[in-house]
Amino acid sequence: MKILILNGSPHLKGPTSDMAMAFMKGAEEAGHTVTNINVAHKHIRGCMACEYCREKEKGVCVQKDDMQEIYPQILSSDMIVFASPIYYFTLSAQLQAVIHRTYAIDIPANVKKTALIMSSGSAYVYGPAISQYYQSIVEYWGVENAGIFTANDKMNMSQEKRDELYRFGKSLQG
């Protein structure tokens, strides 16, 4: 499979990235092709709701920022992994911007499954993010949820979490 990780953490060595990289290692060892994009280090503006993509040029976003390199990656992937720290009970603004900007391409026809990786300070803070993920991605795109992984407090940067994500990547079929 062609797998795309959209990592919304600004910390390239933080727990979100740590889990994403462990997943990537396992998935690559299982023979998948994995691309990781640190979207928090890209220049991606919020959707302007101009409707250009729907009314003028179907599927084309009028904003010529770094999202232009991400659109083809999303469209050509079989699986997308969303990775994010929890900010105020939901996904980071940087990852939210990417999700909102998929308005231009709407449902990516090639994507068959998705997963969600989240890191937080506290436990029991994932409800809004999981709800958004299910409604906006899994149900709206009509894809399979391959897994939801969380780490908080002492589990952040732990070998146990790393192993869990590695095993998940390694177990992926297709």
Ligand X SMILES: Cc1cc2nc3c(=O)[nH]c(=O)nc-3n(C[C@H](O)[C@H](O)[C@H](O)COP(=O)(O)O)c2cc1C
Q: Using the rule CB under 6 A, which residue among 73, 87, 147, 155 binds ligand X?
A: 87
Amino acid at 100: H
Q: Angle 159-171/15-29 helices, nearest 10 degrees? A: 40
DSSP string, 30-82: TT-EEEEEEGGGS--PPP----HHHHTSTT--S--STHHHHHHHHHH-SEEEE
Angle at 69 between CA 4 and CA 48, to 5 degrees: 105
Total residues in contact with ligand X, by rule CB under 6 A = 17
Q: Which is nearer to ligand X, 113 or 162 (CB)?
A: 162
Q: Can residue 11 be called a binding residue for ligand X (CB under 6 A)?
A: yes
Q: Using the rule CB under 6 A, which residue among 5, 6, 16, 169 binds ligand X?
A: 16
Q: Which is nearer to ligand X, 16 or 77 (CB)?
A: 16
Q: What character string, x for contact with ligand X (CB under 6 A) and - otherwise, covers 109-148?
A: ----------xxxx--x-----------------------
Residue 152 phi/psi, 5-degree rounding, is -140, 165
Give the chain's largest Cα–Cα span.
50
Q: Do residues 36 and 20 lie in contact, with contact meaning Cβ atoms separated by under 8 Å?
A: yes
Q: Using the rule CB under 6 A, which residue among 14, 66, 75, 148 binds ligand X?
A: 14
Q: CB 161 → ligand X: shortest distance, Å?
A: 11
Pick the stretch among 9-17, 31-39, 49-57, 94-102 that binds ligand X (CB under 6 A): 9-17
Q: Can residue 156 be called a binding residue for ligand X (CB under 6 A)?
A: yes
Q: Using the rule CB under 6 A, which residue among 88, 159, 160, 173 binds ligand X?
A: 88
Binding stretches for ligand X (CB under 6 A): 9, 11, 14-17, 85-89, 119-122, 125, 156
